[in-house]
């Protein structure tokens, strides 16, 4: 495989959203929810005290700029009241009262500012990654991008092409639906690209405003968990086919795995008030199946090694702490403790979706790693699909 990574750039959401603020908002909006008494314990179980968003919490919970009674509904409402025997004056007062009722934001109101932020954050991460790699925008031969919660056409690839700007012959590879595996799968694709042409320079940029899935009106227990989990982050990394002075990690192998008939476990549902992330409680068990398959891949890959093999680092984004616990409980015999330390540290400030693995990789880099440290990167995403990579620190 022989792909080389420079240190990733990470740009966190600049607005700190505290868990206490989210819980206060939930209590005020859903005072009769049957699960309300449990929310403190649920919040504590996430281990997340604060997360960074590209936009403030107030922007997610604000009412629509339109009235509660949409313009097309005024006429029918007026006619119905008139048929009910109300006077013109009474009808007028009723319509005025209906128009004062706050309405939920429209999908345009939720998505438009988030999409603008995704582009801005993505550009910042891209420029920082290129600077860290000692490269210029004119050196980029291929751009791989991902953003799953702010649908747009043209997407982040064309936005960055113009913003940076890039050469007109750059290969643009947008992957808007990779979601949580964007980090590992984009690296696997970049490795394939540089294997064909070792002189190729690939820039990977993932920018996610996952806070757009925060839907104040949702009153299910699952929606509470979604509110608590997600953070906004942009990441970028340069991948080359030959080692550079700035290279920190070499990728040697990639593995992909998809479970059939699991597309109904996690999905994005687009409604009038924006994007909703919906998840089934069977999800963590399905993710565990991909973890077991990864253990088997690694075992088979190293079955002929002269000495027992184990990674020195496991940088994983499985979607939640329950699966991290499962990974620790089912690791092959003889593997040391603490392999998931950086992964756990990354979760203390939120689930970053496709940006998570590169954020965790940056945390490991900043802590300092020994040359030759064996590393596995893993991520699972809705679908249910997973990608893992194996490599060594330089």
DSSP labels for 217-250? T--SHHHHHHHHHB-EEEEEEEEESS--TT--EE
Tell me how many domains the chain contains: 2
Q: Is residue 69 part of a domain?
A: no
| 233 and 116 within one domain | yes
| 257 and 119 within one domain | no
Q: Is residue 82 part of a domain?
A: no
Last residue of a domain, one of 177, 207, 240: 240
| 340 and 205 within one domain | no
Q: Is residue 78 part of a domain?
A: no
Looking from the CA of 62 toward its CB, the CA atoms found within 13 Å total 10
Q: Is residue 94 part of a domain?
A: no
| 194 and 281 within one domain | no
Contact 248, 129 (CB under 8 A): no
| 201 and 119 within one domain | yes
Q: Is residue 194 part of a domain?
A: yes
| 178 and 53 within one domain | yes
Q: Is residue 343 part of a domain?
A: yes
| 234 and 276 within one domain | no
CB contact set of 169 (below 8 Å; sequence gap of 6+): none
| 370 and 222 within one domain | no
Distances (CA, A) of 108 to 99, 116, 151, 274, 378: 20, 12, 11, 7, 34
| 134 and 7 within one domain | yes
Domain residues for 9? Answer: 3-62+104-240
| 343 and 229 within one domain | no
| 48 and 180 within one domain | yes
CATH code at position 309:
3.40.47.10
Residuewise pLDDT in 10s, the chain (394 residues): 789 999 999 999 999 999 999 999 999 999 999 999 999 999 999 999 999 999 999 988 887 776 555 555 556 766 776 777 777 776 677 656 555 556 778 888 888 999 999 999 999 999 999 999 999 999 999 999 999 988 899 999 999 999 999 999 999 999 988 999 999 999 999 999 999 999 999 999 999 999 999 998 888 888 888 899 999 999 999 999 999 999 999 999 999 999 999 888 887 888 877 788 887 777 778 888 999 999 999 999 998 888 889 999 999 997 778 888 999 999 998 899 999 999 999 999 999 999 999 999 999 999 999 999 999 999 999 989 999 999 999 9
Contact 258, 31 (CB under 8 A): no
Last residue of a domain, one of 179, 208, 240: 240
Last residue of a domain, one of 220, 240, 260: 240
Q: Is residue 157 part of a domain?
A: yes
| 299 and 234 within one domain | no
Q: Is residue 220 part of a domain?
A: yes
């Amino acid at each position: 495989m022989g792909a080389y990574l420079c240190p990733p750039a990470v740009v966190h959401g600049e607005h700190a959203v505290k868990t206490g603020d989210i819980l206060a908002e939930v209590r005020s909006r859903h005072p009769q929810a049957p699960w309300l008494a449990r929310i403190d314990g649920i919040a504590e179980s996430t281990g997340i005290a604060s997360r960074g968003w590209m936009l403030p919490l107030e922007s997610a919970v604000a009412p629509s700029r339109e009235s509660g009674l949409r313009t097309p509904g005024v006429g029918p409402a007026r006619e119905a009241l008139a048929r009910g025997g109300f006077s013109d004056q009474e009808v007028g007062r009723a319509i005025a009262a209906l128009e004062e009722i706050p309405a939920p934001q429209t999908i345009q109101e939720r998505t438009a500012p988030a999409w603008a932020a995704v582009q801005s954050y993505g550009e910042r991460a891209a420029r920082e990654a290129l600077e860290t790699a000692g490269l210029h925008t004119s050196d980029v031969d291929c751009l791989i991008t991902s953003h799953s919660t702010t649908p747009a056409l043209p997407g982040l690839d064309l936005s960055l092409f113009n913003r940076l700007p890039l050469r007109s012959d750059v290969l643009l590879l947008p992957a808007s639906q990779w979601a949580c595996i964007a980090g590992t799968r984009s690296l696997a694709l970049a490795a394939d690209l540089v294997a064909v042409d070792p002189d190729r320079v690939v820039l990977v940029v993932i920018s996610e405003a996952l806070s757009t899935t925060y839907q104040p009106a949702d009153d299910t227990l699952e929606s509470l968990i979604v509110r608590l989990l997600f953070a906004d982050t942009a990441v970028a990394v340069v991948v080359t086919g030959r080692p550079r002075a700035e290279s920190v990690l070499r990728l040697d192998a990639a593995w992909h795995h998809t479970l059939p008939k699991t597309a109904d476990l996690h999905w994005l549902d687009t409604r009038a008030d924006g994007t909703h992330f919906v998840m089934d409680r069977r999800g963590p068990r399905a993710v565990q199946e991909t973890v077991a398959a990864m253990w088997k891949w690694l075992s088979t890959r190293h079955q002929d090694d002269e000495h027992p093999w184990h990674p020195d680092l496991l940088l994983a984004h499985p979607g939640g702490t329950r699966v991290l616990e499962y990974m620790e409980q089912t690791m092959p015999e003889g593997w040391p403790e603490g392999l998931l330390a950086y992964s756990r540290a990354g979760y203390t400030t939120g689930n970053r979706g496709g940006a998570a693995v590169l954020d965790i990789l940056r945390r490991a880099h900043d802590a300092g790693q020994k040359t030759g440290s064996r590393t596995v990167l893993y991520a699972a995403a809705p679908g249910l699909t997973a990608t893992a990579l194996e490599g060594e620190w330089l």
